[in-house]
Chains A and B, each alone.
Chain A
């Protein structure tokens, strides 16, 4: 199998793993959100790649029956998913702001320490 021909899928896998790694390994809430966005973006790439047809052009109807079009449906789907991703990021960042106001930090380990202290009292 042609490895370079799957270039797009390699990008998807690398982006996805990078995103997941940041999400798991970083304690900073903003960095977590960055990881999450990266993770979601990789899925957008995946969908767009699925929609491609070899030699296909943009799916705008022309009078020539021999023209091959790319599949527009995944692109439309991913527009919805992009909106959802933006909304998720917005909610996440808003929550981080509120957390900063309440705890004066956005480092998860410090927040955890503050919560543990609260429970001891």
Chain B
């Protein structure tokens, strides 16, 4: 049983998805999806326990040993990411029950939850697979179901957002496919460990270079790195809010993880950063992301859109950590992946609660939220502080590590930019908090009768995630320990 954990991790949601389609009952499909997701989370927790000391699980699918067969390769880095994905999926699924009732027709609930599980399958599969082509297959499983989930959004713009994501996402995935093809042509293998071993003495370095470029651009599209983030804004804005909370915490993070895996483990940091000078591509785009996107976020009138812009900015921080190519920089990137995943999911869940009662997320109309929905507002403010990076919150832990790593390298201008963008984050979160706490309701607004708090099933998961965030903010050394272990595994390449 313990030997089969990596396979179970992917099989559970994959088998449950068609089961849900057969059952077709809205409540039961929700329950099955949630239970399966919790099981997957438990499995990834067990897996993390096995590898946290630095050991590696290599699981040969069907008994075909690598490099002939396909294998799952689990180490500290990807077991952690798998836990993040399955954990967030479980929490948000519990939350989704009431939230989805508002936006999706009851007769389509079973399709929604089946799509969710397929998306989870794809994301976990991408993370733990050790085969380059398998990454593409799982990527498409998750992307196709994501297009479907986004199209479930309540207004018609969700359809356009989904179509746009489909076009950009497919181009990105096709680029990845081309890259994998060239890698195979140059080395004759698809296994990642084998690729890492064979790339240095390939006979066709140009094919490897082409593969590297295509893979980088393709993954940057999927990860919504700054100039290629166009699909993200509308998709996050118009998707059902539970989907946004799930995707914001996981989908881009998984692509970033694959990007890191590729830079450091497959091609090696000497090739990516020493020979190709990738940090001169990544760092400018990272800085541009967190400065311009934070600035744009200040002027948004819709809460969801504001947070979507802030997501692109936060991806910039992660990318800045990656571009350092040092142990500490990578630690900062990994820890920020986790922290931002938790914080952004909580924030979007809080926005979902506002949407559930108020029916809109128009920022200027959110005055006096504190007296109308005290619990939701408190959760929003606390995780908002985490997003800004106030001391004692998770955001502080990761930003502090990142700034330390940048100073170690002596990149002072980047440090100044991070501080500037933190000030902007204070502005866009602070503006909302001010409205929620202090501004008097306008006479003209018809919503004077006041809202009630949302159902308990929405509040509990939100507060669970918030508590986890606060815990990791106070005891940051724990996540930092795991993250630095993960960074070590990534930098060390494949053994």
Task: Please report A residues at the B interface, Cβ cutoff 8 Å.
Answer: 20, 23, 29, 32, 36, 39-40, 43, 46-47, 50, 73-74, 77, 80-81, 84, 87-88, 91-92, 95-96, 98-99, 102-103, 111, 115, 118
In whole Å, how far is A27's beta carbon from the nearest beta carbon of chain B? Answer: 12
Beyond A95-B151, A99-B160, A115-B157, whether A50 also contacts B181 by CB under 8 A is yes
Given contacts A46-B178, A50-B184, A77-B133, A98 and B159 within 8 Å (CB-CB): yes
Instruction: State how many angstroms separate the Cβ of A87 from the closest Cβ of chain B.
Output: 6
**How far, in angstroms, from A80 to B171 measured CA to CA in the complex?**
17
Among listed B140-148, B332-340, B404-412, B426-434, interface-contacting one: B140-148
* A–B complex contacts, Cβ < 8 Å, 20 sampled: A40-B170, A40-B174, A46-B181, A50-B185, A74-B181, A74-B184, A81-B177, A84-B136, A84-B173, A88-B144, A91-B147, A92-B166, A92-B167, A95-B151, A95-B162, A98-B159, A99-B159, A102-B156, A102-B159, A118-B157
Q: Which residues of B contact A73 (CB under 8 A)?
A: 184
Contacts of A32 in B (CB 8 A): 167
Minimum C-beta distance from A16 to chain B (A): 8
B189 to chain A, nearest CB (A): 10
Write the nearest CB–CB distance from A56 to chain B, whole angstroms: 15
Please give, as numbers and ranges, the residues of chain B lying within 8 Å of A95 by CB-CB distance. 147, 151, 159, 162-163, 166
Could you tell me the distance in whole angstroms from the C-beta of B219 to the nearest C-beta in chain A?
A: 16
Q: Within 8 Å CB of B147, what residues of A? A: 91, 95
Given contacts A88-B144, A95-B151, A115-B157, whether A23 and B167 have CB atoms under 8 Å apart is: yes
Chain B residues numbered 359-397 whose CB sits less than 8 Å from any CB in chain A:
none
Point out the residues of chain B lying under 8 angstroms from A43, CB to CB.
174, 177-178, 181
> In the complex, what residues of B have CB within 8 A of residue A92's CB?
163, 166-167, 170
B residues contacting the other copy or chain, number (CB 8 A) = 25
- B residues neighboring A (CB under 8 Å): 133, 136-137, 140, 144, 147-148, 151, 156-157, 159-160, 162-163, 166-167, 170-171, 173-174, 177-178, 181, 184-185
Closest to A12 in B: B178
Cross-chain contact of A103 among B137, B156, B173 (Cβ < 8 A): B156
Quick one: given A46-B181, A50-B184, are A39 and B174 in contact (CB under 8 Å)? Answer: yes
Taking a contact as CB atoms under 8 Å apart, the answer to whether B181 and A80 are in contact is no
Q: What are the 6 A-B residue pairs with the smallest beta carbon separation, nearest first?
A: A102-B156, A84-B140, A50-B185, A95-B163, A99-B159, A98-B159
Contacts of A87 in B (CB 8 A): 140, 144
* Residues on A with beta carbons closer than 8 Å to the beta carbon of B162: 95
CA distance A102 to B140 in the complex (A): 27
Partner of B163, one of A29, A40, A50, A74: A29
A88 is contacted by which of B156, B157, B170 (Cβ under 8 Å)?
B170
